Amino acid sequence: MEQPRALISVWHKEGVEELSSALSSMGWQILSTGGTARKLRSAGIPVIDVSEATGHPEVFDGRVKTLHPAVHGGILARRDRLDDMKTLNELGYGPIDLVCVNLYPFVETAARDPPATNAELIEMIDIGGPTMVRSAAKNHKDVIVLTSPSQYEEVVIKLSEAGGGPAAIGMEERAKLALEAFQSTAAYDTAVSNELESRFRGAKTPSMINMATGGENPLRYGENPHQPASFYPEAGEPTGLASAVQHGGKPLSYNNYLDLDGALRLARNIIHSCSDHQHGCVVIKHTNPCGAAVDLTQSEAWKNALASDPESAFGCVIAFTKEVEPSTADAIGDHFFECMIAPGYHPEALAALSSKKNRRMLTLQHMGPRQTALSLRQVSGGWLAQAQGPPAVDWDNAKCVTKRQMDEKDFSLARFGCAVLSEVKSNAIILVSETPTGLATVGVGPGQTSRVEAVRIASRRAGVRARGSMMVSDAFFPFRDGIDSANDIGVSSVVQPGGSMRDQDSIDAANEHGISMLFTGTRLFLH
């Protein structure tokens, strides 16, 4: 058997010594470049510099070292084509049977804080590495391509069991490695494209949408048992739900992820908008809030959030803005919930919560205030993109338009109400009230085609607690009937964006009923 050759050139050098040593001991010749070659030599592994094989030195600070026919001819030559092999021989180049490459750390450099300069970032755009990976993946029938240290061990074992020859790696495994190679270069190019888009263009929405993800995490099923489903974390360092640590219980479902996402968004809204309150609690069912509350104590925040709609909260998802305390776990008691997410859990609280079967508690350490970010949504034939974040109300310019005015307490309640309302599906109406030591929803009317019907639903859920409450609407009232309905249930104040041609009718109705009304100037639809 002709001596097989491996080209090894990696930035991340985890496991590369072990891989190269194993290949060398099985009779492979090792070609390498720059820092990889130096590391292997220092470990006593025989290495041939790529520049020796090409007859051309590395130039331009390593920008050009593997971009040569001796490299790519050795990778791309088809072994079953006599003309390919004849040409390769005439040129004096040898075949390359394994390519092990990982790429410059563009993603890590782009994530640096303080940010890397454009010049620094540009130097982290790998050219030769992706080219070799793509060449090897294209010719995977003849070339084994490795792009991650996680692949090394299995390949070494199979080679060693078969005497070290490249034929030990069958076509199924080669195809799998080739697919992973193309996925790695696609993700890399996506990262470059997206980062340069933000730096060179700086628009609020991208000129083109490119996406890359981490590996597939299959779920039990989708929204319904007949629908296959998976979760794909964003590429790069895990963030959001991908970074959450689960404590106990069965794996998360598709619906769990949707509800946890809704709970997390709302919890972060509360952190953003209600920082003057110690604790926040959110109760979510089918992506809509059943209730939310802020309070001096966490257990009271939970009790008040639950009281908003205890019937709907059966089988809910709960979010807390602070570490869960033992007293909170005691207050939750036997209440049936699917999942809980919080920045952490006191050991006694976690033990108590875990005592019930199938509860899933998740820790998300970095649960900071919500930030505006690009949101993508698939529709038939394409994608929609928009900037989405906490409610963008300019409270300095919010205007009370009625004879009865609002005080600072009312404004605090309005800010809380808008933080919650922005995560309720439209048309949406919520009723919020002060509690002895905090603020809470008392009725939520989500997702109605009629705004008046949303008022009725919120009222029905609030019951007697509607009296004296504040009604918050995600959009203007087109007719005065919404204000009249608010008066019928005892609402004392109304918050809405304004902007209807009939705003004056609503203002007149509020004045007739002695209701104060605030115009925020900001619609809060969530379709």
Same domain, 294 and 435: no
CATH for 135: 3.40.50.1380
The verdict on 401 and 292 lying in the same domain is no
- Is residue 373 in a domain? no
**305: how many CB neighbours lie within 10 A of its CB?**
29
158 in catalytic set? no
Q: Does a structural domain hold residue 513?
A: yes
Residue 372 located in a structural domain: no
Same structural domain for residues 443 and 355?
no
DSSP assignment letter at 341:
E
Structural domain of 411: 395-519
Among residues 201, 228, 260, the one where a domain terminates is: 201
Asked, for residue 85, whether it belongs to a domain, the answer is yes
Which residue is catalytic, options 13, 272, 286, 346?
286
Q: Does a structural domain hold residue 251?
A: yes
Looking at the structure, tell me whether residues 401 and 358 fall in a common domain: no
Structure tokens at 33: 């470049």
Same domain, 292 and 355: yes
Contact 235, 214 (CB under 8 A): yes
- The single residue listed with the structure tokens 């739900």 is 241
> What's the pLDDT score for residue 203?
83
* pLDDT of amino acid 2: 83
Torsions phi, psi for 362 (to 5 deg): -120, 140
Alpha-carbon distance values, 373 to 199, 206, 519 (Å): 16, 12, 26
pLDDT tens-digit map of 484-527: 999 999 999 999 999 999 999 999 999 999 999 999 999 999 99
Q: What is the CATH number of the domain that holds 514?
A: 3.40.140.20
Question: Which of 316, 344, 363 lies at the terminal end of a domain, its last residue?
Answer: 363
Q: Among 339, 363, 387, which residue terminates a domain?
A: 363
Whether residue 307 lies inside any domain: the answer is yes
Task: Return the pLDDT at 1.
Answer: 55
In this structure, the answer to whether residues 419 and 474 fall within a common structural domain is yes
CA distance 325 to 305: 16
16 and 152 belong to one structural domain: yes
Quick one: 143 and 189 in the same domain? yes
Angle 16-25/152-161 helices, nearest 10 degrees? 10
DSSP 62: T
Q: How far is CA 39 from CA 20, 47, 49, 146, 273, in A?
A: 11, 10, 12, 18, 52
- 204 burial type by CB count under 10 A (0-12 exposed, 13-18 middle, 19+ buried): exposed
Q: Say what the alpha-carbon torsion angle 419, 422, 428, 429 is, to the nearest 10 degrees.
A: 10
Please indicate, yes or no, whether residues 97 and 141 belong to a single structural domain of this protein.
Answer: yes
Q: Which residues pair with 429 in a beta bridge?
A: 445, 473
Sign of CA dihedral 217, 220, 223, 228: positive
- 103 and 184 in a single domain? The answer is yes
145-171 burial: b if 16+ Cβ within 10 Å, else e:
bbbbbebbeebbeebeeeebebebbee
Are residues 280 and 420 both part of a single domain?
no
Say how many Å lie between the first and final Cα of the chain, rounded. 65
The answer for residues whose C-beta is within 8 angstroms of residue 486's C-beta and 6 or more apart is 455, 471, 494, 513, 515
Count of domains for the chain: 3
**Whether residue 286 lies in the annotated active site:** yes
- On the CB side of 406, CA atoms within 13 Å amount to 25
Residue 55 within any structural domain of the chain = yes
Tell me the pTM. 0.88
Identify whether 290 is part of a domain.
yes
**What are the pLDDT digits (tens) for 148-171?**
999 999 999 999 999 899 999 999
Q: State the residue for tokens 């069958």.
A: 170
Average pLDDT across each block of 10 residues of the chain; the chain has 527 residues. List them in order: 90 94 94 92 93 84 85 94 93 94 92 92 94 97 96 95 92 97 94 92 87 90 95 89 93 96 96 94 96 97 96 96 97 96 97 93 94 92 94 94 94 96 94 96 93 91 95 93 92 95 95 96 94
User: Do residues 197 and 252 both lie within one domain?
Assistant: no
Which one is catalytic: 138, 322, 346, 356? 138
